[in-house]
Amino acid sequence: MLPRSPDRREALTLLGLGGAGLATGAAAQQVDLGFAGGTRQLSGDWPQKGSMIVLRERAPLLETPLSAMDGQVFTPNDRFFVRWHYQDIPTAVDPATFRLRVGGAVRRPVALSLADVHKLPRVEIAAVNQCSGNSRALFSPRVPGAQWGDGAIGNALWSGVRLRDVLDLAGVAPGAANVRVSGLDRPPPGAPWFAKSLSVDHARDGEVMIALAMNGAPLPMLNGYPIRLIVPGWYSTYWVKALDRIEVLTGEYDNYWMTKAYKIPATPDAGVQPGAKDFPTVPINRMTPRAFFTSVDRATKVVANDPFYVRGLAMGGASAVARVDLSMDAGRSWHAARLAPDQGKYGFRLWEATIGGLPRGGYRLWARCTNADGQTQSMDAIWNPGGYMRSQIASVAVTAA
């Protein structure tokens, strides 16, 4: 081999060795996510977490292996993906002294204890939490940012209280336009605080809620203990973790995280020509339908002429999953997959199918989700510079032998 300067592959190799060197005893398991540079370590070293794909150690970015979601609508808390922006994240919380402050354009600012929050009417909702940049590493051409595979996503049964009821304890003042939400994480010196905003109407729609529990248990610290915002149907960037401050605003929230980051092209599919610049943008918002394979890998082998079973999960985005269809001819014909019972329109829906025996050979199997609004996935990939909202129809290679 010719001598060459250190390249990315070598840098990754060094990283891998570093990881293995410190993981005494524990066999460092690797996973290949199927794109250049997509070799990752699986680690069970993260608190309150099982085996997770480590994308970044600080601030933690932990991805869920799709196989960990197989056969179940609700993603286990200890396998739920983790995403923080800044390294100064909460690592200790005393629920007795924790306060949720509601201020700004309200009749009376309040500082609520968790006991105060618990007194409000309880609601629960199944909802998919998906990072805006889920599947970013599959963009072509590639874009900078967290190089997620498909696993920056999970579904949980969230229980808690309506944001509307919390706002009403303070009393939204006339002229209120937006609601700013932020949590216990802190920026490095000089960097903009991570905070997001929703319109007052959205915040008060009765669906946006504050979760006190996730799948019937307290939230893991890395997923926002003690409470986090749940914005059903919307991308995770709004689901502020360790939520402790709500500020009602009479104008737009014009900070970096609303006006510069998490912006998508103002086109119907959030896509632009690769390399495009200076196009109109809007803050990312509602999710779109997606279907994933969970029971088979990207390249799966089956016995020739023997029927085989395949299943996965689908999400409708801003409305319920209406159908999942499978194709083995690149989308010329589609066949409906069976859907397991609906657990809530914003949640995952399990789909499954048995494919008739295939003669020896190589095939490709596509799975497409369509939601109740008639919105459906496309065979074509979109591109935008942020690597947001990928929702191209997923497929797996099938070899019958």
> Between residue 333 and residue 372, which ones bind other proteins under the rule CB under 8 A?
338, 340-341, 350, 352, 354
For other proteins, the closer of residues 231 and 337 by Cβ is 337
- 101 half-sphere exposure, CB direction, 13 A CA radius: 9
Number of residues that bind other proteins (CB under 8 A): 80
Q: Of 24-43, which residues contact other proteins (CB under 8 A)?
A: 36-37, 43
Is residue 49 within 8 A of residue 222, CB to CB? The reply is yes
Distance of closest approach, residue 374 Cβ to other proteins, in angstroms: 27
Q: Which of 260, 335, 360, 364 binds other proteins (CB under 8 A)?
A: 260
For other proteins, the closer of residues 136 and 172 by Cβ is 136
H-state helical runs in 239-357: 256-259
The DSSP bridge partners found for residue 354 are 309
Beta strands per DSSP E along 164-289: 178-183, 195-199, 209-214, 228-230, 243-249, 263-265, 281-283
Q: Of 178-237, which residues contact other proteins (CB under 8 A)?
A: 187-192, 212-213, 215-218, 221-222, 225-226
275 binds other proteins, rule: CB under 8 A: no
316 binds other proteins, rule: CB under 8 A: no
For other proteins, the closer of residues 108 and 301 by Cβ is 301
Alpha-carbon dihedral 339, 345, 348, 354, rounded to 10 degrees: 10
Binding-residue pattern over the window 108 to 127 for other proteins, x denoting contact by CB under 8 A = ------xx--x---x-x---
146 binds other proteins, rule: CB under 8 A: yes
Stretches 19-27, 100-108, 237-245, 328-336: which one binds other proteins (CB under 8 A)? 19-27
376, 64, 53: which is closest to 236 by C-alpha? 64
Distance of closest approach, residue 76 Cβ to other proteins, in angstroms: 8
Note every long-range contact of 266-273, with CB atoms under 8 Å and residues 24 or more positions apart, other chains counting: 269/378, 269/382, 269/389, 270/382, 270/384, 270/388, 270/389, 271/382, 271/383, 271/384, 272/383, 272/384, 273/383
Q: Residue 272: how many CB atoms within 10 A of its CB?
A: 18
The DSSP bridge partners found for residue 172 are 106
Distance of closest approach, residue 395 Cβ to other proteins, in angstroms: 20
278 binds other proteins, rule: CB under 8 A: no
